Amino acid sequence: MEHPTSFLCSTCKQVIQAEDGLRSKHILFDDVEKLWVVTPERQSFESFRRAASNNCFICSILWNHDHLLVAPEVWATVWKPIKFQILQHKNRMRVDVAQTVDQTVVVAFRHPNFWSGTVDVHIMIHLNRLQDSPLPEFPMILAGSTASPSSLNQALNWFQKCKKNHGKCRSPPTARPGWLPTRLIDIGIPGEPDWKLRITKDLEKTTPLEYMTLSYRWAPNPEHLLLSENINDLQAGWPVKTLPQTFQDFILVVRQFGVRYVWIDRLCIIQDDDEDWKAEAPMMASVYSNSMCNICASASDGPDGGLFRYRAAKGIAPGIVDTTLTIAPTTCPVRCYIYRRRYWDDHLPESPLHCRGWVYQERFFASRIVYFSSQQIMWECLQESGCEGFPRGDVNPYPADHMKGFKTLGSLADLVSGPTGFMTTELLNAWEVSVESYSRCQLTRPEDKLYAFSGLSKLFQQATGDRFLAGMWQSVIVNQLCWYTHGNLPSPSEYRAPSWSWASVDGPVFSRSGDSLLGGEKMVKVIDLDVTTEGPDSTVEVKSGFLRLKGTMFITYCWTDYGDHGGEVAVGEYLGRRGDKSRNMMLFPDTTDRVLQKVGRMILLPVMRFPTGVENSAPAHLPRHHVGCLVLSSWKHPTMGDIYQRSGYVFTKNVFWNAGPAVTDGVLFDSIVENAEVTII
């Protein structure tokens, strides 16, 4: 069958279909890599704009890069000729499309931006020979809806192939054979009008019972809930057609997969019974770990949105071009598929669903996931990923999506053979990536912060044997104090963790814990610490906690200038001077209500030292370091004496530290308390 090729403008053809394959322009890096840097002639903004409107495969990607409706006159003000970098690997040719100001390859593409005027981004495009590609041998003919039989059959094919061939997915490291949730929903057979709530201990289990799960976004004032007053009615049966559209679509898909039981949180947990919720919520990891497959309503912002979407099939499948950019010299163009390197992330963006806190854990533990996105159905399991545009294999080896948790889950099983009693560098890095990703998610109930992460906490606890303390780990507690946030949210209204834990704040959290294990030096000693929880589960329901440290405490008066992304701090005799030298520390308040006054007293407790080598400007005996400090506030406790609360994080710049006083460009702090014992709650 003849393959129709994608349109390329004359500029892009000068590169993709160059007569000599650009070999006369290459720069040899080593035995396996060659680089070409090309700026095609006769480029103008108008020709670029015209090519994009005519659907040149490459130019239209650049024009629509961040989906902003930017006026052409704005584009014209930042226009520079497009540069192409062609990097040849052993088995893949990659085209880097670059638009730069200074004709270098550092900045890849200049795009107009509403906030900063311009933004420099990097667009990468892959070329794969048809016979080497994970794509079919002929272009996919995609239906106009993800509810079409062809789309649903593709999802079923992925599921059946995985069940038959993938050993890792049949026995994921976190699954427990025979485990079942307390309740399941019996959806019956295709065409059956009612569903029924079942208590799993009462079900006959002549064969292993299979069930599937649903990840979706709740809506305000939800209806169709399992309540104490209607549990008997739901056990007797309820019409499928009365459920929200997402639930109805979910049941349709599950029936096609040949599975009879499903689990949906709001129909399997008694929503007005706190004791039932507290018993069921910590088991979420097990619910999703033991699910046959998890369905994600990725395109819906609520349960009424449904799974399925109409779509324009054009643009989902990759393009096809004839190119001379081949590994071996050729005079004949080779037919290749052409697609963006970030194809997966383009088609599975950060939807409202994937920003939901509970969904992070659901995706992490599910060994098989089917995503119903706005453009196509997509598949992930422990061994491969696919989508309707790339049904045969892994479309994106370098996803930006940090929530592809099953990858971490699989590697986690390989990192440890049993409890070690401490957190290794690899495990700590995996933990910090998970915490940072999770902290960007939203929770309807902020008090669920530790609950919605408890499955991961238990997994790492099992892997290391380490003690879990309100989001932190005992063996690396000092290292983990080096977290910070932009401090643009208030403190939670309800207590959920000590102030020294990232779980005590809302919003994105960033960390240098992993760096601190690689050459970092502790500047405090742990004297004592403890966390008390309401029940026996140490990963949830924190009542109180304290951390007693011994170190050198610095007290100074400071001038601060901070915004949404941290701020500058001036200390000592530089107070009131606004020159560059006064900007010697970066301050990150933890919350809006913990922000320091513009001019006021600051208590700093250095906790970690990060060496950056000896610099020429430093005295020979004083190596230059970056130092992470806790910002503390204090008050008198009637029985415990001086008590401290963490208020923020300071990261020093251009600071010399030695065993004696800290010197900041030759300026001493106002006062220093050595060997201070500090109790932080």
Examine the domain organization and report whether 477 and 619 are in the same domain: yes
Whole-angstrom distance, CA of residue 679 vs CA of residue 542: 18
Flag whether 416 is in a domain.
no
Summarize pLDDT for 82-109 with one digit per residue, the tens.
Answer: 888 877 665 556 666 654 322 222 223 4
Bigger pLDDT: 285 vs 117: 285
Between 170-174, 183-187, 355-359, 393-397, the lowest mean confidence (pLDDT) is in 393-397
Q: What's the pLDDT at 119?
A: 55
Q: What's the pLDDT at 618?
A: 38
Flag whether 537 is in a domain.
yes
Flag whether 144 is in a domain.
no
Phi, psi of 296 (to 5 degrees): -110, 120
Bigger pLDDT: 119 vs 335: 335
Summarize pLDDT for 59-70 with one digit per residue, the tens.
Answer: 888 887 754 455
Flag whether 4 is in a domain.
no
Using CA of residue 509, residue 514, residue 520, residue 525, what is the dihedral sign?
positive
Bigger pLDDT: 132 vs 562: 132
Between 52-66, 391-405, 651-665, the lowest mean confidence (pLDDT) is in 651-665
Q: Could you tell me which of 364, 492, 504 has the C-alpha nearest to residue 430?
A: 364
Examine the domain organization and report whether 164 and 284 are in the same domain: yes
Domain range for residue 551? 422-680
Q: What's the pLDDT at 506?
A: 95
Between 200-214, 452-466, 667-681, the lowest mean confidence (pLDDT) is in 667-681
Whole-angstrom distance, CA of residue 134 vs CA of residue 152: 20
Flag whether 142 is in a domain.
no
Examine the domain organization and report whether 459 and 396 are in the same domain: no
Contact 606, 657 (CB under 8 A): yes
Q: How confident is the model at residue 550 (pLDDT cuts 50, 70, 90)?
A: very high
Examine the domain organization and report whether 91 and 175 are in the same domain: no
Examine the domain organization and report whether 116 and 226 are in the same domain: no
Average pLDDT over residues 497-525: 86
Summarize pLDDT for 593-635 with one digit per residue, the tens.
Answer: 765 555 567 899 999 988 664 333 333 443 456 788 999 998 8
Examine the domain organization and report whether 481 and 337 are in the same domain: no
Whole-angstrom distance, CA of residue 564 vs CA of residue 678: 29
Whole-angstrom distance, CA of residue 681 vs CA of residue 432: 22
Examine the domain organization and report whether 403 and 468 are in the same domain: no
Using CA of residue 575, residue 580, residue 585, residue 589, what is the dihedral sign?
positive
Whole-angstrom distance, CA of residue 651 vs CA of residue 587: 7
Q: What's the pLDDT at 69?
A: 52
Q: Which of 409, 433, 451 is the last residue of a domain?
A: 409
Examine the domain organization and report whether 384 and 239 are in the same domain: yes
Number of independent structural domains in the chain? 3
Cβ-count burial 457-490 (b if 16+ within 10 Å, e if not): bbbbbebbebebbbbbbbbbbbbbbbbbbbbebe
3-state SS, residue 580: helix
Between 9-13, 353-357, 559-563, the lowest mean confidence (pLDDT) is in 559-563
Q: Which of 381, 409, 437 is the last residue of a domain?
A: 409
State the virtual CA torsion across 418, 424, 428, 429 in degrees, nearest 10: -110
Average pLDDT over residues 5-32: 73
Examine the domain organization and report whether 248 and 338 are in the same domain: no
State the virtual CA torsion across 668, 664, 524, 462 in degrees, nearest 10: 160
Flag whether 5 is in a domain.
no
Examine the domain organization and report whether 486 and 626 are in the same domain: yes
Contact 457, 448 (CB under 8 A): no
Q: Could you tell me which of 333, 321, 391, 319 has the C-alpha nearest to residue 158?
A: 391
The number of angstroms, rounded, from the C-alpha of 192 to the middle of its chain's C-alpha atoms is 40
Examine the domain organization and report whether 98 and 176 are in the same domain: no
Contact 610, 518 (CB under 8 A): no
Whole-angstrom distance, CA of residue 87 vs CA of residue 91: 11
Flag whether 566 is in a domain.
yes
* Residue 659 pLDDT > 70: no
Q: What's the pLDDT at 473?
A: 96
Bigger pLDDT: 206 vs 516: 206
Flag whether 327 is in a domain.
yes
Please list the helix, strand and coil fractions of the chain in percent, rounded to the nearest 5, in that order: 25, 30, 45
Go through the chain and tell me how many residues it has.
681
Q: How confident is the model at residue 564 (pLDDT cuts 50, 70, 90)?
A: very low
Contact 39, 104 (CB under 8 A): no
Mean residue pLDDT of the chain comes to: 80
Examine the domain organization and report whether 224 and 364 are in the same domain: yes
Q: Judge residue 681's burial from the number of C-beta atoms within 10 Å of its C-beta, 0-12 exposed, 13-18 middle, 19 or more buried.
A: middle
